[in-house]
């Protein structure tokens, strides 16, 4: 059994926030109007077979129309039950444990989404690729991607790209 390749792809403010106060994401669309094709999101999603997302992120994207993960297997890391609306599955455990189970089920490329899940993936050392789209804003407060509880991890810069909106995309691979 081979471990699935694990990708992270997200927008982040200059000061390290991935969401504003109370989980607000409106600043992302306002400041980064670039198309999914231009950002590389479309290309990534053609490679991904499974999304592993946190419960807060899942609750936030449930309101999106259309459902942003149509045609993809979505696994929600949560201790609380929920009624799936699009065939989602609930799993419990560490990110590493859930990834091992997904590997046994044939998953080859997993996209992690949600701050808590991504931080857990960083702590557990399971992320292979990290794409950060840095938006030209300082939010001051909100949900931070990186916190002091994270251990050191070394990355190599694979590419940089400036988008028409002024967003700078940084892509890192695990060393």
Average pLDDT of the chain to the nearest whole number = 94
DSSP string, 83-129: --SSS-EEE-S-HHHHHHHHHHTT--EEEEESHHHHHHHHHHT---E
Tally of CA atoms within 13 A in the half-sphere of 62 that contains its CB: 15
- What is the domain range of residue 57? 5-174
Backbone φ and ψ of 20, nearest 5°: -85, -165
Q: What is the pLDDT of residues 40-66, one digit of tens each?
A: 999 999 999 999 999 999 998 898 889
Model pTM score: 0.94
- Helix, strand, coil share (%) of the chain residues, nearest 5: 25, 30, 40
CATH number of the domain where residue 89 is located:
3.40.430.10
Tokens read off for 170: 């940084």
Mean pLDDT of 159-164: 95
| Count of beta carbons in the 10 Å neighbourhood of residue 21 | 11
Percent of the chain's residues with pLDDT above 70: 100
Total domains present in the chain:
1
Q: What is the pLDDT of residues 78-125, one digit of tens each?
A: 999 999 999 999 999 999 999 999 999 999 999 999 999 999 999 999
């Amino acid at each position: 059994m081979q471990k699935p390749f694990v990708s992270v792809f997200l927008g982040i403010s200059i000061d390290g926030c991935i969401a504003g106060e109370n989980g607000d994401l409106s600043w992302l669309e306002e400041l980064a109007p670039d198309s999914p094709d231009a950002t590389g999101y479309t290309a990534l999603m053609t490679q991904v077979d499974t999304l592993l997302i946190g419960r807060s992120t899942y609750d936030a994207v449930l309101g999106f129309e259309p459902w942003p993960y149509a045609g993809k297997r979505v696994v929600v890391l949560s201790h609380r039950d929920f009624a799936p609306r699009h065939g989602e599955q609930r799993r419990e455990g560490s990110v590493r444990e859930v990834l091992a189970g997904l590997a046994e089920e044939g998953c080859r490329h997993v996209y992690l989404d949600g701050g808590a899940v991504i931080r857990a993936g960083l702590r557990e050392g399971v992320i292979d690729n990290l794409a950060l789209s840095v938006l030209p804003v300082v939010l001051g407060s909100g949900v931070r991607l990186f916190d002091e509880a994270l251990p050191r991890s070394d990355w190599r810069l694979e590419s940089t790209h400036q988008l028409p909106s002024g967003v700078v995309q940084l892509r890192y691979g695990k060393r």
